[in-house]
Structure 1
Amino acid sequence: MSSQQYAVPDPPTDAISAVKFGPGPSRLLLVSSWDKNIYLYEVQDGGSSQLLRRVELEAPILDVCFGDNEHEAYTAGLDWAVSKVNLETSEKITLSSHDAGVKSVVYSPEHHLLISGSWDSTLHVHLTDNPERTWSTIRLPSKVYSMSITSTKLVVAMANRWGHIYELERIRKLAAQANNPAPNVLDIQTWQSRESSLKFMTRAVACMPNDAGYASSSIEGRVGVEWFDASEESQARKYAFKCHRQTENGADIVYPVNALTFHPIHHGTFASGGGDGVVALWDGIGKRRIRQYQRNPSSVAALAFSSDGKFLAVGVSPGFEDGQEDSQGTVAVYVRELGENEAKAKGAK
């Protein structure tokens, strides 16, 4: 069976910032947008889907994620706030406020940790199972551009092309010990600190679901893959490659790689989405492209696999790749239903 792609009804009216599937067997899909709303859809086999709820916040939303269940969401936005949203009642609670826009928010169900990353060069840490405690701060050397987590680690990609890797258990322990009620700064050492293998600004980072490593992408049409293991042998495996480039009139046009997401079952497989409107699947272990899908009508802004790997959500919206800030184009969310072995690397068991 080959995959088919379907448009989600009632899409956002402005640029899409994130798409996220619900935890476990959930068929719910969260979408955040610069139109100040988060959208909750239900996705069905065969491509049909429906909008269940739309919740408006105070400012454009730059990221969203689910919490412990499919009824709670956390948002990050240009109002500098980190908010919790009840997806059943639309009730909103502000959990903390940064000193600049909040670029990314991630949630760890294993550690009951909500972590936000901001352009103010800080992380805010919230213990979601202990709401009586205030949030804690981790100071960073530069603005946060992207974050991703595994069951044990947090990867923070920053504006200075450096990435910090933290142990979630250590963050949890220090946050639980911090003095209350005043917000406090955690004196925490990074587990690892790495300079990006990509020469240009980082656009996205995504962790491997088996806790082995991560991929990062840049504005200059490249993706790098590396492993957490700091041994010389393991670090020798890291590599980078060119992608999302088009040849027009004999010229090589390079597009930013805006989005990355790993397949939850075939751990070496990940998807990339670029300013060229293209989504590609890659075998990160075998270092080869598995397949490339048809070009979308606008730049790919966000990607997410469902927890069972059956669906791939694709958020597209106009980018600035042509140099026009007022670029006109399609804003849409597509859901691709994958064939049984479509994301499986060649030779994989």
Structure 2
Amino acid sequence: MSAPATGQPPVDAGGGRIGLGRELGHPPRDGVSNLRFSKHSNRLLVSSWEKAVRLLDVDAATDALVGAFPHKRPVLDCCFHDNDSSAFSASSDHVVRRLSFSSKTSYRLGTHDGPVRCVEYSDTTGQVITGSWDRTIKCWDQRGATGPQYTLIGTHTQPERVYALSLAGHKLVVATAGEHVNVYDLRNMSEPQQRKSFLNSQTRCVECYPNKTGFALGTTDGRVAMDFFDQSESSLEKRYRFKCHRLTEDRGRVAYPVNAIAFHSEHGTFATGGCDGFVYTWDGEKKKRLFQSPKYPTSIAALSFSKDNNLLAVASSYTYERGKVENEPATKIFIRDVNEVEVKPRH
């Protein structure tokens, strides 16, 4: 399946134009590295190259800034802890931090030997998993530690720099440079499934299916691959890939990197965001495109559905796919009301 992009805003059932969504206040002044909705409320966590992590309440009339934690270096990732007032950050200064917005305190959880690119918290095991450009992932556990501290319980060498992580139950997917993909079971980290992406291009993002049966990979050449944890012959036959985020321009057909994938937890459909400035939604089961957004001001750096799937957070933030440019577009965060037509499979 592919996504022809006309550049024209889509039309809703009433004949009106569907907009970009509501623009939030308090955006970072530099690029967004990630954003995530809480699993408990409509609070939105935002990490950025502005060297900060922000917590926003998107339900508040003024998009209230709940709090912000400055960092010494750009923050490359963030995730919530076990509530909507605590979080973890992964920073380019090699440090992993736990942040408490309620008490306005933070502490250093641990370090890597290189910039920390990814951080995930497992609700299933209570572990924090971090991935770094030092070619390792580390697992941290609070059990056995004193107070709120976490203890390093494992360091696992990767074939290349870690670019993306995703969790689904006990499954952990690690995507690295060199097109490597390792699949771990958090209960036994010593025997990962070692794979190579079958897209033959660099992985930019990875996201596990809500039903915990597999994962989707987005790449730098405008492709998405759908893969499965089960490695039986029947599952391998069901794998597939498709082209997306491709525009016809003066220089011909141009493929743009896929920066973000976000699954709708109820329907199992998913949204992708790319450097072309568009958001698409897809029905992976039927291999159909469901929706194309209007064009955002610049690259889509990150996406996140709210806990009830009624909202989609979109980070419009230049990702330097064309290098340094004059009049670089400002970073903006939009909240879209999700219409069922955009995400529900069509029978």
Q: What letter matches 1:41 in structure 2?
A: L
What are the within-5 Å matches in structure 2 for residues 107-256 of structure 1?
Answer: 107-132=121-146, 134-135=151-152, 136-171=154-189, 188-190=190-192, 192-249=193-250, 251-256=252-257
Provide the residue aligned with 2:296 in structure 1.
Answer: 296
Deviations 1:277-313 (A, max 9, x none): 1110011111110101001001010111112111111
Distance 1:235 1:316, change over 3 A: same
Residue 341 of structure 1, CA deviation: 4.5
| 2:76 paired with 1:76 | no
Across the aligned residues of Structure 1 and Structure 2, the Cα RMSD in angstroms comes to 1.8
Provide the residue aligned with 1:28 in structure 2.
Answer: 43
SS at match of 1:147: strand
Provide the residue aligned with 2:6 in structure 1.
Answer: none
Give unpaired runs (5+ residues) of structure 2. Answer: 1-11
Provide the residue aligned with 2:27 in structure 1.
Answer: 11
Write the distance in 1 (CA, Å) between the matches of 2:160 and 2:321: 25
SS at match of 1:236: helix
Q: What letter matches 2:205 in structure 1?
A: A
SS at match of 2:187: helix
Residue 48 of structure 1, CA deviation: 6.2
Equivalent in 63, 66, 70 of residue 52 of structure 1: 66
SS at match of 2:188: helix
Note if contact 1:64-1:76 (Cα within 8 Å) is conserved in structure 2.
yes
Write the distance in 2 (CA, Å) between the matches of 1:48 and 1:265: 29
Write the distance in 1 (CA, Å) between the matches of 2:285 and 2:292: 17
Give unpaired runs (5+ residues) of structure 1. Answer: 172-187
Note if contact 1:226-1:239 (Cα within 8 Å) is conserved in structure 2.
yes
Deviations 1:104-133 (A, max 9, x none): 000111110100000001111111344346
SS at match of 2:178: coil
Write the distance in 1 (CA, Å) between the matches of 2:95 and 2:298: 29
TM-score by length of 2: 0.90
Between stretches 226-235 and 290-299, larger displacement belongs to: 226-235
Note if contact 1:79-1:101 (Cα within 8 Å) is conserved in structure 2.
yes
| 2:112 paired with 1:94 | no
Distance 1:146 1:327, change over 3 A: farther
Residue 10 of structure 1, CA deviation: 1.1
Provide the residue aligned with 1:177 in structure 2.
Answer: none
Provide the residue aligned with 1:285 in structure 2.
Answer: 285
Write the distance in 2 (CA, Å) between the matches of 1:282 and 1:339: 14
* Identity in percent: 37
Distance 1:259 1:102, change over 3 A: same
Residue 84 of structure 1, CA deviation: 0.3
Between stretches 125-134 and 76-85, larger displacement belongs to: 125-134
Distance 1:317 1:327, change over 3 A: farther
Write the distance in 1 (CA, Å) between the matches of 2:159 and 2:256: 27
Note if contact 2:122-2:128 (Cα within 8 Å) is conserved in structure 1.
yes
Provide the residue aligned with 1:104 in structure 2.
Answer: 118
Write the distance in 1 (CA, Å) between the matches of 2:199 and 2:252: 22
Residue 324 of structure 1, CA deviation: 2.8
Distance 1:292 1:139, change over 3 A: same
Residue 157 of structure 1, CA deviation: 0.2
Equivalent in 25, 32, 41 of residue 56 of structure 2: 41
Write the distance in 1 (CA, Å) between the matches of 2:341 and 2:253: 33
Distance 1:17 1:170, change over 3 A: same
Note if contact 1:198-1:217 (Cα within 8 Å) is conserved in structure 2.
no
Note if contact 1:8-1:50 (Cα within 8 Å) is conserved in structure 2.
no
Q: What letter matches 2:333 in structure 1?
A: V
Provide the residue aligned with 1:176 in structure 2.
Answer: none
Q: What letter matches 1:18 in structure 2?
A: N
Distance 1:327 1:118, change over 3 A: farther
Residue 21 of structure 1, CA deviation: 0.7
Deviations 1:56-113 (A, max 9, x none): 1121000000011112100001010010000112211111110100000001111101
Deviations 1:213-269 (A, max 9, x none): 1100111111111111111111111111111111112611111111111111111x1
Write the distance in 2 (CA, Å) between the matches of 1:318 and 1:327: 11
Note if contact 1:205-1:215 (Cα within 8 Å) is conserved in structure 2.
yes
Write the distance in 2 (CA, Å) between the matches of 1:275 and 1:98: 29
